[in-house]
Amino acid sequence: MNRISFSKISTFISCPLKYKFQYVEQIPKDDTTSSQQLGKYIHEVLEHWREGLDITEVGVLFENKYLLADEEKLAVPKLLANAKEMYEPYRGLNCESEFRLEYKLCDNGQEIMVDGVVDKLYHMPDNKFIIVDYKTGKSRSDNSLQMKFYFYLLNKLRGYKVEDIASKIFYLRMKYQATYTFDEAEINEFETWLKTMIELIDKTGKFTHDFSRGCNYCPYRKEECLPYKIKQEKYGAY
């Protein structure tokens, strides 16, 4: 392995076999669900939306690019309206949008490129920084691991002090926000954990299958994933 991302780690944690299909064997799949299409659509709209622009008009520019089911189409006006309201406190601040961070981590003589993409990074007047990530799903899941990943990259790559960084998750459907902060000890522990995960993935010989409700949305469930097919034939889908 010479490159690791949060997506790779989270995929391995959720199901090592899916990690094998996607990142080791690199089996191409284009099985994006309508809800995933919605997430990509909203992210693109918010990436291009700037102060002074009408967010609805920006949305129109990209709506034909994505295949949305009726339920997702009906959710779009509310998601955009909530996004506009939730971003109002950050009006006028310097912002970096959808930018990639890449940090070269050296571990046991091996160089690993650690990379991540932050939805938005706001530069506050007091020389502090706020990471903002947005979710379009229907649940408020714990995203502390993802935020630690971004804290780590900003600290290591840009030299930002951990105490000067805060992060927020915008759950656009519920117009709810969660705040995450970490101290230096937690970020140092994260680096140790990250190295352990990299070593674990590298040394994994047998990629096991972990059953979960997410199996029903996995693009490899119909053809490549034998454990899923056997269980589905015996018990039906989750």
The CA distances from residue 150 to 72, 89, 97, in Å, are 29, 22, 14
The predicted-structure confidence for 82-122, as pLDDT tens digits, reads as follows 999 999 999 889 999 888 899 999 877 788 999 999 999 99
The predicted-structure confidence for 35-90, as pLDDT tens digits, reads as follows 889 999 999 999 999 878 999 999 999 989 998 989 999 999 999 999 999 999 99
Strand 165-171 and strand 176-180: pairing?
antiparallel
Could you state, in order of their start, the residue ranges of all structural domains in the chain?
6-207
pLDDT for residue 207 is more than 60: yes
> Which tokens belong to 79?
């998601």
3-state secondary structure 66-119: CCCCHHHHHHHHHHHHHHHHHCHHHCCCEEEEEEEEEEEEEECCEEEEEEEEEE
**pLDDT for the residue 36:** 86
**Domain 6-207 is in which class?**
alpha beta
Do residues 8 and 21 lie in contact, with contact meaning Cβ atoms separated by under 8 Å?
no
Cα angle 199-204-210, degrees, rounded to a multiple of 5: 115
Its pTM surpasses 0.95: no
pLDDT for residue 235 is more than 80: no
DSSP 8-state assignment for residue 3 = E
